Amino acid sequence: MSRFETWLADSGIPVTIKQFPAGTRTAVDAAKAVGCEVGQIVKSLVFIAAGRPVVALVSGANRVDERCLAAVAGEPVLKADAETARSATGYSIGGVPPFGHATEVLVFMDRDLLGYDVVWAAAGRPDSVFEIAPARLRELSNAKVVDLKVDTDSNPPSGASPSPAAPDLPRERGSDSSNSPASGEVTL
């Protein structure tokens, strides 16, 4: 039994974990594995906002607008490195669940996730996910629902170029996290 499964059992939360040996590390991989839309995949992204770790639960179809996150979590906003993400949540990038973290972290949830009947989130490992209703996800993660996605219809900030298809996760597992795309990967 994984640490997250143990936490779920100890908390009395009935969630069924599904494991996919080929992996569910990217939103596209996870959507293919479970047979859902990419937007139904919950990316659990760890940032440092105003000097403290926070988690953003984002639809797999969206990129985080760090300005929106800064407006609710404080400035400056930076992607957490692999070590910070693990120490704050207890999980490695690619398997960070939306709740059951090692420390108390503020959680913000992408409003777009509420548009689905069910969503799929990482279950503590890069090959495991679980299905959950968005309202229950919000409740269990104690998340504040906010608009977090990059608005591709607006003008980008000065010096930036629009890239609506660009993912906002690390180039490879354990690497430092920039908001630049790398080989089309989107980590959960």
- Say if CB 188 and CB 41 are below 8 A apart: yes
The pLDDT confidence band at residue 164, using thresholds 50, 70 and 90, is: very low
User: Each residue of 24-58: pLDDT tens digit?
Assistant: 878 998 899 999 999 999 999 999 999 999 999 99
> Any idea what the CATH number is for the domain that residue 123 is in?
3.90.960.10
> Within a domain: residue 176?
no
Question: Residues of the chain with pLDDT > 70: what percent?
Answer: 80
Q: Where are the alpha helices (DSSP H) in the chain?
A: 3-11, 27-34, 66-73, 82-89, 134-141
3-state class (DSSP) for residue 28 = helix
Q: Please tell me the distance from the alpha carbon of residue 9 to that of residue 11, in angstroms, as a whole number.
A: 5
Pairing of strands 119-122, 17-19: unpaired
Does residue 174 fall inside a structural domain? no
Residues counted in the chain: 188
> How confident is the model over 94-109, as pLDDT tens digits?
899 999 999 999 999 9
Domain interval for residue 72: 3-146
Taking residues 141-169, what's their average pLDDT? Answer: 62
For the cut 70, the answer to whether the pLDDT of residue 140 exceeds it is yes
pLDDT of residue 22: 83
Number of domains in the chain: 1
Distances (CA, A) of 102 to 79, 86, 99, 116: 18, 9, 9, 28
pLDDT band with cut points at 50, 70 and 90 for residue 168: very low
Pairing of strands 119-122, 77-79: unpaired
pTM of the full structure: 0.81
Please report whether residue 105 resides in a domain. Answer: yes
Cα distance between residue 43 and residue 121, in whole Å: 7
The position carrying tokens 């908001």 is 179
In a domain, 9, yes or no: yes
Could you give phi then psi for residue 79, rounded to 5 degrees? Answer: -65, 140
Q: Distance between CA atoms of 56 and 122, rounded to whole angstroms? A: 13
Residue 82 included in any domain: yes
Q: How many CB atoms lie within 10 A of CB 16?
A: 9
DSSP 156-181: PPTT----TT---S-SSTTS---SS-
